[in-house]
Copies of this chain bind each other. A is one copy, B any other.
Amino acid sequence: MTMAETEDRRANVQDSLRHITGLLQKHGLVESLVHRQQGPRQELVENLVQKLHLVELQKFLDALHPADIALILESLPLEQRLVVWELVKAEREGEILLEVSDAVRATLIENMDEQELVAAAEQLDTDEIADLAPDLPREVIQDVFKSLAPEEREQLRAAMSYPEGAVGALMDFDMISIRDDITIEVVLRYLRRMDEMPDHTDQLFVVDYAGRLKGLLAVNRLLVTDPETVVTAVMQTEPPRFRPNEKAHDAAQAFERYDLVSAAVVDEGGRLIGRVTVNTVMDYIREETDSDVLFAGGLRGEEDLFASVWKSVKNRWTWLAVNLVTAFIASRVIGLFEGSISKLVALAALMPIIAGISGNSGNQTTTMIVRALAVGQITAANARTLFAKEIGVSLLNGLIWGGVVGLFAFLIYHSWQLGVVMTGAMVLSLVLAAIMGVAIPLTMQRFGRDPAIGSSVMITALTDSGGFFIFLGLATLFLV
């Protein structure tokens, strides 16, 4: 390494450090460190920045939870991110890779060699390796695979076989199962021989001789039950259970509704093959809602905050292209009425009002329907009631807001005819928006598409072109 490179690197580290300390202060994470050192906080932070030893920074990182290091990595521009990443202890790389967002993970993996990646993956459980697998080079996976025990290989193969939205993809294999014909005493002795129990073990899974799930024994019940009792006498029968091919979305809803901490996953024959825990479910829900929010904002997926310009452009182009097409259509609808506009130029200034408000109103309806569909509140039986209600709302809104915009048009252009056309166009556009606002998500659902994705673009496209057409059409009929 040349002198200049060293200098350069030091400056980077300095930046990162300032940055990290800033972040840490902000998240209150620095406090524990400060308390340990008994100095005033500000002083310590400044000292850290000034001392500026790589070692210091490394110690600092070592004391942090992997999830916090992940957050810091996500918050750093690429160069600084890589400096920090190099300082992270090799044996922690695996768990940190699991915590960072997909986009940031890709930037880290790009900068690791095969050997490092294999080492990082080998520290993880098989279900965790499966989570990383899509981002790892094929050779790395093969190497990791070879290093596993036969049973683990089987688990990894199983875990990798489920698609992202399936229960199988959330599953881990860290469960404790016991036989149903033993006493609590025996269970307690069995547990006491363990060094520790897996995280989130709120219950033991009771199986028969063939490994079929028979019931659940809550750990808390274990503690309050007479040791002489037989497991079957205190276990919960008919336990909630999932199949690995079920939708993760449905399993997540069950966790939310029934306040589960863990749940069994069984195969076709009812044999216990894994479990799902609440922390995985919480991460899944976070990803699900995040991707809805990002999608609603026109982003294809989570974007690295500091992605290159080119990567960002690629992440955003689909949406802009779709919107461009709908904008071209709306533009051609207006083009149909250029004759009317040239005779009455006020139409050009007024038309965006109609399109805009009916777009908003349609989106209100769609948002409500999409949410109701996601929780499963809409059936064939109540859909008609919903249509009726939304049309009622749009008629009332049409009269109220149509009245306001009509008055606006009258006050500015001193033509009561123009005002009346505005009001009429508003009512019609809002009714169109209401009908489409219910119909679009319902239709998408019926055809097996996710209504959360695309409903909003479609309704906006429709209300734009529709609003222009209705307003300019009415104006052409009655005013020009």
Contacts and interface: CB of A to CB of B under 8 A. Distances in A.
A221 B375 CA distance: 38
A201 B401 CA distance: 54
A58 to B, nearest CB: 20
B356 A323 contact: yes
Nearest to A312: B393
Interface string A222-264: 1111000000000000100000000000000001111101000
Given A256-B282, A261-B278, A377-B71, A367 B223 contact: no
A221 B196 contact: yes
A352 B329 CA distance: 11
A439 interface: no
A366 interface: yes
B313 A371 contact: no
Nearest to A430: B320
A382 interface: yes
Contact of A256 (B191, B202, B283, B385): B283
A409 to B, nearest CB: 9
Contacts of A188: 223
Contact of A261 (B195, B261, B292): B261
A9 interface: no
Given A313-B397, A345-B338, A397-B313, A385 B77 contact: yes
A323 B357 contact: yes
Given A74-B377, A331-B352, A334-B348, A360 B320 contact: yes
A316 B65 contact: no
B379 A23 contact: yes
Interface string A17-41: 0110011001100001000000000
Contact of A77 (B74, B202, B219, B382): B382
Q: How large is the interface on A (under 10, 10 to 19, 20 to 34, 35 or more residues)?
A: 35 or more
A106 interface: no
Contacts of A393: 309, 312-313, 316
Contacts of A323: 356-357, 360
Contacts of A331: 349-350, 352-353, 408
Contact of A367 (B261, B296, B376, B408): B296
Interface stretch (A142-150, A267-275, A299-307): A299-307
A389 to B, nearest CB: 6
B401 A19 contact: no
Contacts of A74: 375, 377
A182 interface: no
Nearest to A340: B345
Nearest to A296: B296
A376 B305 contact: no
Nearest to A298: B364
A446 interface: no
Interface in A184-206: 188, 191-192, 194-197, 199-202
A199 B259 CA distance: 9
Contact of A376 (B27, B220, B256, B341): B27
Interface string A279-315: 1011101100110111011110001011101101100
B309 A396 contact: yes
Interface string A346-384: 111111110111001101101110011001111111100
22 contacts: A22-B380, A26-B379, A71-B376, A71-B377, A75-B377, A75-B378, A196-B224, A201-B220, A202-B202, A219-B223, A278-B282, A289-B293, A292-B293, A293-B367, A296-B367, A297-B366, A298-B363, A306-B382, A306-B385, A312-B389, A335-B346, A356-B464
The 7 closest A-B pairs by CB, nearest first: A297-B367, A67-B257, A348-B348, A259-B279, A197-B220, A309-B392, A334-B349
